[in-house]
Structure 1
Amino acid sequence: MTDEPQRAGRRTRLYALTDGRTAAPHTVLTMDTTITAAVDAHDGLPSEWRAVLAMCPAPNGRAVAEIAARMRMRLTPMALLLGELADRGLIHHRPPLEGAETTNVHLLMRIRDNLARI
């Protein structure tokens, strides 16, 4: 099974996925925030939500920017969609690594290599 979401048919409009909300005031996400699924994807959810949950298994998850790239969606709408998922308790999010944690050259090289694969 691949990490890529299936592209069958038309895409659901973002306002339909978020019940018309245009902002997620309770959840602040940046492009390097790490997202992990809090629940398993199931048939009762919209296909985009299921795709996000499937590509963000615990414990590692994925960064917001990587999810947006894999879903072929711009960053701002993706952050809004993920904010909606977070507000509903479907995902967990953690802030990016602290400055001291980003000095690990091997970690930075792995991140670079993973982004190059996208």
Structure 2
Amino acid sequence: MQQLYEQGQNKMGSPPWEIPRLYLKNSPVMRVNTVNTPLLLMHNDNDNAVPFAQSIELYTALRRLQKKVWLLQYRNEGHQLFRDPDKLDFTIRQQQFFDYYLRDQPMPDWMKAH
């Protein structure tokens, strides 16, 4: 995916060994200590646009710092959800997440079990 980072969507302009400070500055994992907002991530195991390992790295770093973070993964789904049961499940969980943090609703069980 190096070409994407250098010349594509991310437009870094050079490889990481030439401008390591810029890559570090743009790395979400290197800045997890600044995260204060609860975060709900959704990343699926068949995503061919973004490596699943990147979400694991971010999630693990945030958890290590005891930040409020949840990672939802739908098996055999790609960069977006296509199966109706998965779309419905994600919609419900997303609504519950925001209801808890924005509308003072009780925390759903799936959030307690992380």
- TM normalised by structure 2 equals 0.27
TM-score, normalised relative to structure 1 = 0.26
Q: Identify which of structures 1 and 2 has the higher relative contact order when contacts are C-alpha pairs closer than 8 Å and 6+ apart.
A: 1
